[in-house]
């Protein structure tokens, strides 16, 4: 008798695919989500075509173990399986680690059409303890699993269960099967400008063609790119197909939901890390079954099991937050294009400042380009002025130079809004002792502790380590000798309060806007005119549209040029163009001041004259000369360990065993850009290769031949952001 075998990719990144017996009466096909035994445990796995996924452990039929069951979820479709294989291959990651991003959380697949959640009844328990009171207060009107409420209230599960018994919290059945509302493509149809119309028609045709086609939607800030790609989404909805919109930050979700509702009459499905289990299951299931027509999310939405994708949009496609830097190191922009290829649907990369890599794809004819050269309606591009800090120094101990102070005065007098941009959270980036020179460094990272006055703490922005701000220097014991060096947004906000005591100011950073709800509150306050001056980090540079915001001041335009990697000028250009793009988006004209010590630098000149093309041409030429992407490629190998010598030894061994290949060069090991991170010492090797070389194959062979103790970790970052 032939037993039926199945090759299963089990959700354990340390294991390759394993073979199982399919018991009589069970039916599986490639893509089926199953439960498989492993030792004493049971793991979720995905059935795969054996020929596409070789197993190193060939097991005889008689030694196979039976699969336990099949999950009641649609099998993962072939295009998604190809995407998982491609991602694993290209980024040198275990296929199981990639597949896990698809399954999101395995319980998203369990049977059942309802889920039991809990919420406060409003009736206090007869026996009220301080802990119970605190729990109920923190829970508020939140609803969720016992576990989720316990986390929100910062108590043990037992406390929540006790409150359920006492009648203060009740169970509610949530129907995760209730369908999402259907967006209506004919609802808020806009009148498009001629440029928008041309672009929209091209995208609609691409959606209707049902074939892979990558597009760059290159439109200046405020040109109405969103309205254009909404038309592509409308075409997909009309055809009953799904759309996916990727945004770089969850803080941008809220304004997006609002605009989407204006256009289509209801919200799309939002996918982000803040979802409750029930929301996750409902979204996952209906995405997999094809009922959820439009999904918007952060990069993790890219791996969801869409049943029939009609279009993928990557908004603000140049954003660096699309690059995932831990776990599977992937670039969501690039994986989105691959997903479009496998799903046979168009992919739209929307940006006012496309990355050099993306422009290059247009130049060589791989991507098609749609341009929106002017702002929508009567809005003009803002006027950008370089403000030479050497010629116009701010007063002692201040950071806003006199010409910018005057411009702010005038703007406030006209009752218009101001945005001051500084990409540094906290009060000051460095605190030191005036007496002995002691500097506060993170015990776990090669980084200074940043003072946060709002919370009265010193914080490490890399590992999250926090300490109270001490009264005296821990080194010499002197009191009142600690000084803050340099500005962060909180310090600028202090200066604003001193100069314009009557103006209403708000600080916008990830410390103050940590959830979509907080972002919504900020948008609301801006629209209501409840804020005159915003002091913010990169969080406010993109997506927002405030017609009454007419002045942008960049406190330190040179900041992004520090570090001096090959991307520094491009990064600075993107960031300042984006933040400038917030000024004058309505009928009133906008102005931008760039405070700089290097007004003559090429990037400053490009920003001031608005000549992006020659800047891009020069940057591209520099990349070509250096053989940097897109003309050559890099991969970083990062070796880390709590034991510095062990990490260094392995890094040296990797360097010594580097294969000698024409067109490939290995640099390092050198201390990684953050030489210590979360208590681990890090060394980095940088592999530089010509474009045509299959660098993944080389690295796979090279590292596959080595082994090291588990206390040393080796991570490969293909196409690293910094080089
Ligand atoms: P971008 O994303 O290119 O920076 P937006 O899509 O945010 O620009 O558009 C800028 C503003 O212009 C938004 O308030 C938007 O609602 C408005 N807008 C753009 N196109 C249209 C249109 N065709 N009809 C009405 N309003 C539009
Ligand atoms: Zn740290």
Domain edge (last residue) among 621, 645, 679: 621
Mean local confidence (pLDDT), 299-325: 95
Cβ 499 vs Cβ 394: under 8 Å = no
Q: Is residue 180 in a domain?
A: no
Q: How far apart are CA 16 and CA 1, in angstroms?
A: 28
Q: What are the angstrom distances between the C-alpha of 552 and each of 275, 386, 505, 577? A: 34, 12, 14, 11
Going by pLDDT thresholds of 50, 70 and 90, the confidence category of residue 107 is low
Does ligand 1 lie within 6 Å of residue 375's CB atom?
A: no
Does ligand 1 lie within 6 Å of residue 580's CB atom?
A: no
Mean local confidence (pLDDT), 675-683: 93
Does ligand 1 lie within 6 Å of residue 541's CB atom?
A: no
Mean local confidence (pLDDT), 296-311: 95
pLDDT above 90 covers what percent of the chain?
69
Going by pLDDT thresholds of 50, 70 and 90, the confidence category of residue 355 is very high
Looking at the 3D structure of the chain, how many domains does it have?
6
Which residues keep their CB under 5 angstroms from ion ligand 2? 442, 444-445, 460, 462-463, 465
pLDDT above 70 covers what percent of the chain?
98
- On whether both 341 and 261 belong to a single domain, the answer is yes
Mutate which of 191, 218, 226, 378 for ligand 1? The one with the most ligand atoms within 8 Å of its CB, which is 226
When mean pLDDT is compared across 106-120, 144-158, 443-457, 705-719, the lowest value belongs to 106-120
Going by pLDDT thresholds of 50, 70 and 90, the confidence category of residue 564 is low
Ligand nearest to the CA of 459: 2
CA end-to-end span of the chain: 58
Going by pLDDT thresholds of 50, 70 and 90, the confidence category of residue 488 is very high
Ligand nearest to the CA of 675: 2
- Residue 359 tokens read as 């422009």
The contacts of residue 51 (CB under 8 Å, 6+ apart) are none
DSSP per-residue string spanning 73-139: SPPPPHHHHHHHHHHHHHTT--HHHHHHHHHSSGGGG-S-SEEEEEEE-SPPPSS--HHHHHHHHHH
Mean local confidence (pLDDT), 346-366: 96
Ligand nearest to the CA of 440: 2
Q: What pLDDT digit, counting tens, does each position of 590-649 carry?
A: 999 999 999 998 899 999 998 888 899 999 999 999 999 999 999 999 999 999 999 999
* Distance, CA of 683 to chain centre: 25
Mean local confidence (pLDDT), 62-81: 92
- On whether both 275 and 152 belong to a single domain, the answer is no
Going by pLDDT thresholds of 50, 70 and 90, the confidence category of residue 41 is very high
Going by pLDDT thresholds of 50, 70 and 90, the confidence category of residue 252 is confident
Q: How far apart are CA 512 and CA 369, in angstroms?
A: 37
Tokens 């002017």, residue located: 374
Q: Is residue 471 in a domain?
A: yes
Does ligand 1 lie within 6 Å of residue 219's CB atom?
A: yes
Domain edge (last residue) among 330, 350, 372: 372
- Residue 424 tokens read as 């540094």
Note the pLDDT of residue 1.
Answer: 44
- On whether both 419 and 541 belong to a single domain, the answer is yes
CATH code for the domain in which residue 605 is found: 3.40.50.300
Q: How far apart are CA 218 and CA 123, in angstroms?
A: 56
- On whether both 130 and 161 belong to a single domain, the answer is yes
Question: Looking at ligand 1, which atom is closest to the CA of residue 220?
Answer: 3
Q: Is residue 103 in a domain?
A: no
Q: How far apart are CA 326 and CA 344, in angstroms?
A: 29
- On whether both 317 and 327 belong to a single domain, the answer is yes
Note the pLDDT of residue 717.
Answer: 95
The interaxial angle of helices 157-165 and 130-139, nearest 10 deg, is 90
Q: Is residue 327 in a domain?
A: yes
Q: Is residue 185 in a domain?
A: no
Q: Is residue 208 in a domain?
A: yes
Cβ 447 vs Cβ 682: under 8 Å = no
Q: With 80 as the cut, is the pLDDT of residue 383 above it?
A: yes
Domain edge (last residue) among 333, 351, 372: 372
Question: Of all residues in the chain, what percent are helix, strand and coil, respectively (each to 5)?
Answer: 35, 25, 40
Q: With 50 as the cut, is the pLDDT of residue 687 above it?
A: yes
Q: What pLDDT digit, counting tens, does each position of 414-441 carry?
A: 999 999 999 999 999 888 999 999 999 9
Going by pLDDT thresholds of 50, 70 and 90, the confidence category of residue 177 is confident
Beta bridge partner(s), residue 468: 457
Asked, as a colleague might, if the bond just before 669 is cis with ω within 30 of 0, I would say: yes
Q: Is residue 102 in a domain?
A: no
CATH code for the domain in which residue 714 is found: 3.30.70.600
- On whether both 298 and 324 belong to a single domain, the answer is yes
Q: What pLDDT digit, counting tens, does each position of 51-60 carry?
A: 998 877 777 7
Q: Is residue 130 in a domain?
A: yes
Tokens 């075998």, residue located: 5
- On whether both 398 and 514 belong to a single domain, the answer is yes
DSSP per-residue string spanning 564-587: --TTHHHHHHHHHHHHHTTTT-SS
Note the pLDDT of residue 214.
Answer: 98
DSSP label of 703: H
Cβ 445 vs Cβ 462: under 8 Å = yes
- On whether both 396 and 455 belong to a single domain, the answer is no
Q: What pLDDT digit, counting tens, does each position of 529-544 carry?
A: 999 999 999 888 877 8
SS3 709: coil
Mean pLDDT of the chain: 92
Tokens 């907080």, residue located: 518
CATH code for the domain in which residue 127 is found: 1.10.10
SS3 287: helix
Between 220 and 673, name the one with better pLDDT. Answer: 220
Distance 527 CA to ligand 1 centre (A): 16
- On whether both 315 and 408 belong to a single domain, the answer is no
- On whether both 609 and 652 belong to a single domain, the answer is no
* Structural domain range at position 215: 194-372
- On whether both 199 and 165 belong to a single domain, the answer is no
Q: How far apart are CA 496 and CA 306, in angstroms?
A: 48
Binding residues for Zn(2+): 433, 436, 442, 445, 460, 463, 473, 476
Mean local confidence (pLDDT), 32-47: 93
- On whether both 511 and 567 belong to a single domain, the answer is yes
Distance 543 CA to ligand 1 centre (A): 11
Torsion of CA 249, 255, 259, 261, to 10 degrees: 100
Note the pLDDT of residue 7.
Answer: 95
Torsion of CA 20, 22, 23, 26, to 10 degrees: 140
Note the pLDDT of residue 378.
Answer: 83
């Amino acid at each position: 008798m032939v037993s039926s075998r199945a090759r299963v990719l089990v959700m354990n990144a340390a294991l390759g695919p394993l073979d199982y017996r399919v018991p009589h009466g069970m039916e599986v096909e490639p893509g089926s989500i199953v439960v498989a035994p492993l030792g004493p445990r049971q793991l979720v796995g995905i059935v795969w075509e054996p020929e596409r996924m070789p197993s190193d452990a060939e097991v005889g039929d008689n030694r196979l173990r039976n699969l336990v069951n099949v999950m009641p979820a649609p099998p993962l479709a072939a295009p998604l399986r190809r995407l998982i294989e491609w991602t694993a291959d290209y980024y040198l990651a275990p296929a199981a680690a990639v597949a896990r991003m698809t399954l999101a959380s395995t319980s998203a697949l369990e049977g059942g059409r309802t889920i039991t959640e809990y919420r406060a009844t409003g009736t206090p328990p007869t026996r009220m303890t301080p802990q119970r009171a605190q729990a109920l207060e923190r829970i508020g009107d939140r609803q969720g699993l016992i576990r989720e409420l316990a986390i929100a209230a910062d108590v043990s599960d037992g406390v929540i269960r006790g409150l359920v018994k006492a009648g203060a919290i009740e169970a509610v059945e949530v129907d995760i099967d209730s369908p999402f509302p259907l967006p209506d493509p004919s609802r808020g149809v806009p009148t498009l400008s001629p440029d928008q119309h041309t672009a929209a028609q091209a995208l609609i045709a691409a959606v209707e063609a049902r074939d892979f086609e990558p597009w760059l939607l290159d439109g200046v800030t405020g040109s109405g790119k969103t309205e254009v790609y909404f038309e592509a989404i409308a075409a997909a909805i009309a055809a009953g197909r799904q759309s996916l919109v990727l945004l770089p930050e969850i803080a941008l979700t809220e304004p997006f939901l609002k605009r989407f509702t204006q256009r289509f009459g209801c919200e799309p499905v939002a996918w982000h890390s803040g979802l409750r289990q029930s929301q996750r299951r409902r979204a996952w299931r209906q995405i997999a079954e094809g009922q959820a027509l439009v999904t918007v999310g952060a990069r993790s939405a890219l791996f969801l099991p869409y049943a029939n994708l009609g279009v993928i949009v990557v908004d603000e496609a140049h954003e660096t937050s699309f690059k995932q830097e831990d776990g599977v190191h992937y670039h969501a922009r690039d994986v989105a294009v691959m997903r479009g290829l496998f799903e046979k649907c168009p992919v739209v990369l929307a940006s006012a400042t496309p990355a050099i890599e993306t422009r290059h794809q247009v130049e060589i004819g791989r991507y098609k380009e749609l341009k929106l050269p002017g702002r929508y309606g009567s809005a003009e591009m803002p006027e950008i002025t370089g403000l030479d800090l050497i010629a116009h120094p701010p007063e002692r101990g201040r950071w806003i130079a006199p010409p910018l102070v005057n411009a702010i005065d005038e703007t406030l007098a006209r009752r218009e809004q101001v945005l001051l941009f500084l990409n540094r959270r906290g009060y000051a980036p460095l605190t030191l002792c005036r007496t002995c020179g002691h500097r506060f460094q993170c015990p776990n990272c090669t980084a200074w502790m940043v003072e946060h006055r709002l919370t009265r703490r010193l914080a490490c922005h890399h590992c999250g380590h926090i300490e109270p701000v001490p009264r005296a220097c821990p080194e010499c014991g002197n009191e009142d000798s600690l000084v803050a060096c340099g500005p962060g947004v909180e310090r600028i906000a202090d200066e604003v309060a001193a100069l314009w005591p009557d103006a209403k100011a708000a600080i916008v950073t990830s410390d103050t806007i940590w959830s979509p709800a907080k972002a919504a509150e900020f948008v609301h306050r801006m629209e209501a005119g409840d804020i005159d001056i915003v002091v913010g980090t990169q969080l406010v540079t993109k997506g927002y549209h405030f017609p009454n915001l007419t002045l942008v001041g960049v406190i330190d335009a040179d900041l992004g040029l520090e570090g001096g990697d090959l991307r520094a000028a491009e990064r600075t250009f993107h960031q300042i163009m984006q933040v400038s793009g917030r000024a004058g988006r309505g009928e009133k004209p906008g102005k931008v001041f760039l405070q700089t010590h290097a007004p003559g630098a090429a990037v400053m000149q490009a920003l001031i004259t608005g000549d992006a093309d020659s800047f891009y041409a020069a940057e591209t030429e520099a990349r070509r000369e250096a053989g940097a992407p897109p003309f050559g490629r890099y991969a970083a190998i990062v070796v880390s360990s709590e034991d510095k010598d062990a990490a260094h030894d392995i890094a040296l061994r990797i360097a010594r065993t580097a294969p000698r290949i024409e067109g490939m060069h290995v640099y390092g090991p050198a201390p990684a850009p953050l030489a210590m991170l979360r208590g681990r010492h890090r060394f980095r090797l940088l592999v530089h290769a010509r474009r045509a070389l299959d660098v993944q194959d080389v690295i796979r062979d090279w590292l596959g031949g080595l082994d090291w103790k588990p206390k040393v970790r080796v991570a490969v970052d293909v196409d690293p952001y910094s080089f």
